[in-house]
Amino acid sequence: MNRAALSLSLCIALLGAGCAAVPSDPDARAAYREANDPLEPLNRKVFSFNLFLDRVMIKPVAKGYVRVVPRWGRDALKNFVFNLNEPLVLANNLLQGRLRRAGTTASRFVIDSSFGLGGLIDFAGLHGLRRETGDFGQTLHSWGVPEGPYLVLPVLGPSNPRDGIGLGVDSYINPYRFVVQANSFPTIIAYGPMIVGGIDERSRALDALDAIEKESVDYYASLRSYFRQNRVAILAGDGAPPAPVEENIYEDPGAATSPKGARVP
């Protein structure tokens, strides 16, 4: 099963699960609607599974990655993975009618692929061309498709039906997939960038997520809030919000902002 079918199947399965009862108290009902998490009982179970997987496998691998690979090497790998993804960002910029962003993305890909040694160096970024965002979840948002309820997908983490379907579509239309298939590349080449990108992303959130888990009254609620605020900022076109500040993020689990780019369990 490819990632497109997997993401769609996961969304359908989660939407078909039991929902939490709507509170009768007005204040509780308002908080319930704000969280947009009618599937919370099931989401918490999936979250627990993801947290277990993170603790026994993903986090240790991320820590080993930091110990073994120097910072400059990790930055180069991150830049390389981002550069491979630029054609997909370009496609979504065009589908959203954001021609300026599309031009920036196209320029970045050409410059980094050549002067940046295949994307290992963010040469374009060093010269003022900021990396743009663009995924099919954003595209669906720009077309007026509602996000639906908050979802925690197995392994993939926080999402919603719109972004889950978007992830599947992105996986299917990514030009890299067609290059891999056309050349019959081995599995490590096919999935290597996705695996390295995920490990790198987790490694960059090690300290922030450890601190949030330690201090949060409700880790699940905190990460739900961080994810949703981060996504709102991206959809608004402002990019991810700044990383949380220690002195105020723990006052209210629902009042903080996500570490930039962090994939949470």
Burial of 55 (0-12, 13-18, 19+ CB in 10 A): exposed
Phi, psi of 175 (to 5 degrees): -55, -30
Which amino acid, one-letter code, is at 111?
I
Task: Return the pLDDT at 4.
Answer: 47
pLDDT in tens, 198-245: 999 999 999 999 999 999 999 999 999 999 999 999 998 755 544 444
Q: How many alpha carbons lie under 13 Å from residue 32 in its C-beta half-sphere?
A: 15
pLDDT tens string for the chain (265 positions)? 455 445 555 555 555 555 666 665 655 566 667 789 999 999 999 999 999 999 999 999 999 999 999 999 999 999 999 999 999 999 999 999 999 999 999 999 999 999 999 999 999 999 999 999 999 999 999 999 999 999 999 999 999 999 999 999 999 999 999 999 899 888 889 899 999 999 999 999 999 999 999 999 999 999 999 999 999 999 987 555 444 443 343 344 444 444 444 455 6
Task: Return the pLDDT at 1.
Answer: 44
Which amino acid, one-letter code, is at 41?
P
Task: Return the pLDDT at 239.
Answer: 54
How many whole angstroms separate alpha carbon 22 and alpha carbon 29?
6
Task: Return the pLDDT at 228.
Answer: 94
Task: Return the pLDDT at 245.
Answer: 42
Torsion sign over Cα 100, 201, 164, 253: negative
Task: Return the pLDDT at 258.
Answer: 41
Task: Return the pLDDT at 212.
Answer: 93
Q: Where are the alpha helices (DSSP H) in the chain?
A: 3-15, 26-35, 40-53, 59-68, 71-95, 99-114, 123-126, 136-142, 161-173, 175-183, 187-203, 206-215, 219-235
Residues in the chain: 265
For residue 227, the SS3 value is helix
Task: Return the pLDDT at 248.
Answer: 42
Q: Do the beta carbons of residue 179 and residue 237 sit within 8 Å?
A: no
Q: For tokens 């700044």, what's the residue?
A: 242
Which amino acid, one-letter code, is at 3?
R
